[in-house]
Amino acid sequence: IAVALSAGAWWSDSTMAAFKAHVKTVDMSEEMEADAIAIATAAIMEHSVEKDMASYIKREFDKKHSPTWHVIIGTNYGSHVVHATKHFIYFYLGPKAILIFKSG
């Protein structure tokens, strides 16, 4: 899924290339997948601390796709989660691995 990013004052072609999403596993609609990538991209652009990125993604996903979502973001972690059907995505944006899911 491609997400269009508008060029900004500090964006270069190489910066935009770093934000190309590499989806590893997905169990959600294409629309929700596109939202996940766009929201995560915005989080990485706006925040420098991973905890703040995760909070931003969770808050935006809760607003757009109703609560309660869980978000894990980082460069070195393992995970094993149980998720609700059609409410899971695991992907990379640059070096950041992002896991977004709803459980229960």
pTM of the model: 0.84
- Report pLDDT for 13: 52
- 5/8 Cα distance (integer angstroms): 9
Instruction: Tell me the per-residue pLDDT of 9-42, one tens digit each, with 9 for 90 and over.
Output: 334 555 555 679 999 999 999 999 999 999 999 9
Confidence of residue 104 (pLDDT cuts 50, 70, 90): confident
CATH numbers and ranges of domains, the chain: 13-102 (3.30.740.10)
Instruction: Tell me the per-residue pLDDT of 43-76, one tens digit each, with 9 for 90 and over.
Output: 999 999 999 999 999 999 999 999 999 999 999 9
- Report pLDDT for 16: 53
| Residue whose tokens read 């989660």 | 81
- 41/59 Cα distance (integer angstroms): 14
C-alpha torsion angle, residues 36, 67, 31, 50 (rounded to 10): 0
